[in-house]
Structure 1
Amino acid sequence: MTTAFNRTITELDHVRIFNLLRRRAVPGKTSVQIGELSELIDAAELVRPQEIGADIVTMYSKLRVADPATGEERSITLCYPEDADAAKGMISVLSPVGTSLLGLRVGETAEWQGTDGKHSELVVRAIEFQPEASGDYTA
């Protein structure tokens, strides 16, 4: 898993993800994924939505990613679990890949270990759409 260091997220994404994790928390049982996402948002640099760089992955950003091993590219959108649909490229922030992408900049590599134990990577090639860059600070 890519470390949380040098991640930047908006204050609004932080609050919404914190509340999502709190709602999903089960006393005495924390999934590895919830723990990793919690650590990431706790360690990330927080900025106002109006101040986030247009090259940073935020919630509901549509990004073009590439598999560094094959060069294969695809577009995906980082979303909340209720909107997730892998067939449509909607990837939940609670998934290993979603957590690893949050707060990365264009050119950085997301790394995670899947539920099958396999190490995977994706390079963020471009942000095709970011809500904040288009003036939507409440997405």
Structure 2
Amino acid sequence: MKEHINNGPKPSIVIGKTDHVRLNNLALAAAGRLPEISDGLSLELERAAIVPDVSVPKNVVRMGSMVEYETDIGDTRRVTLVFPGDADISEGKITVLTPIGTALLGLAAGQTMGWTARDDRRHKLTILKVIEHPVDALVAPRDQTFSPKANE
């Protein structure tokens, strides 16, 4: 198994309770066939601030969120973070069981995160904006936003 590459200090992240439970189960289920990805996801889940689902700020990437981000080379991309069964790269739906999917999880607009691709190349991404998932309106209105610390 590869060791995790340190991409520098990691920003604070926020995850809703339901996503946290589902993602922990997913990480455990994936441990046998994708140990590096499973370990990376587990590490992110361990360091996350866990909040009630209705308290996840609207500017935080959660499962089902469409997010626009900028890469370290200046490209802007828009993707939706999904569970593995819903992944479809042609539709911009990326699974949380990829290095970039794990990196996006729990970040707020304005935050930057380093991540390492499967070929060991290091990258950084910055969240430009989080676009609400249509199901969010059925959960509860969320007026609050998460303000990352200045050094993130």
TM-score range, shorter chain: 0.7 to 0.9
Q: For 2:115, which of 112, 116, 119 is the aligned residue? A: 112
Asked if 1:84 is matched to 2:83, the reply is no
Asked if 1:8 is matched to 2:14, the reply is yes
Asked if 1:48 is matched to 2:52, the reply is yes
Task: Return the TM-score normalized by structure 2.
Answer: 0.79
Cα distance in structure 2, aligned partners of 1:123 and 1:110: 7
Equivalence for 1:37: 41
Asked if 1:69 is matched to 2:73, the reply is yes
Matched letter for residue 70 of structure 2 = A
Equivalence for 1:60: 64
Cα distance in structure 2, aligned partners of 1:54 and 1:62: 11
Alpha-carbon distance change, 58 to 5 in structure 1, aligned in 2, over 3 angstroms: same
Cα distance in structure 2, aligned partners of 1:32 and 1:122: 20
Matched letter for residue 50 of structure 2 = L
Aligned length: 134
Kindly report structure 1 stretches of 4+ aligned residues shifted beyond 3 Å.
1-5, 130-133
126-135 or 55-64, which deviates more: 126-135
C-alpha deviation, 1:88, in angstroms:
1.2
Equivalence for 2:28: 22
Question: What RMSD over aligned residues (CA atoms) do the two structures have, in Å?
Answer: 2.1
- What fraction of aligned residue pairs are identical, expressed as a percent? 29
Structure 1 residues not aligned, in runs of 5+: none
Alpha-carbon distance change, 5 to 126 in structure 1, aligned in 2, over 3 angstroms: closer
Matched letter for residue 130 of structure 2 = I
Cα distance in structure 2, aligned partners of 1:22 and 1:42: 13
Cα distance in structure 2, aligned partners of 1:14 and 1:136: 16
Task: Return the TM-score normalized by structure 1.
Answer: 0.85
Equivalence for 2:143: none
Structure 2 residues not aligned, in runs of 5+: 1-6, 141-152
